[in-house]
Amino acid sequence: MKKDVLVARNVDKEAYARFRRKALERGLNVGAALTSAMELWMEKGSKKKKDIRNLMALEGFIKMGRKGNWSEHVDDILYGSYNDIPRH
């Protein structure tokens, strides 16, 4: 990897000082910490945000293949089916 000296304008001095302090606390030089931060920022920005208004698209959400009463379906999962209750 080619290393160059870079100049950045409009960097907040206090933010830079905090960033530099954190980098040094973690045993990194500013260049390595900045490279890591930029990679993380680009990776995070490339992930598609999920629309929470579409509940069916959320990971881990119960998907029913049929129309029905959702609360009964959830109760069946949590407490067992009404037909599973032993009768005397």
33-47: pLDDT as tens digits: 999 999 988 887 666
Q: How many residues does the chain have?
A: 88
List, for residues 1-59, the tens digit of each pLDDT value. Answer: 677 888 889 999 999 999 999 999 999 999 999 999 999 888 876 666 666 666 666 66
Contacts (Cβ under 8 Å, ≥6 apart) of 31: 3
Q: Rounded distance, CA 7 to CA 72, Å?
A: 62
List, for residues 57-76, the tens digit of each pLDDT value. Answer: 666 655 656 666 667 777 77
Quote the pTM value.
Answer: 0.48
Q: How far is CA 76 from the centre of its chain?
A: 30
Domain parsing of the chain, residue ranges: 13-46, 55-84
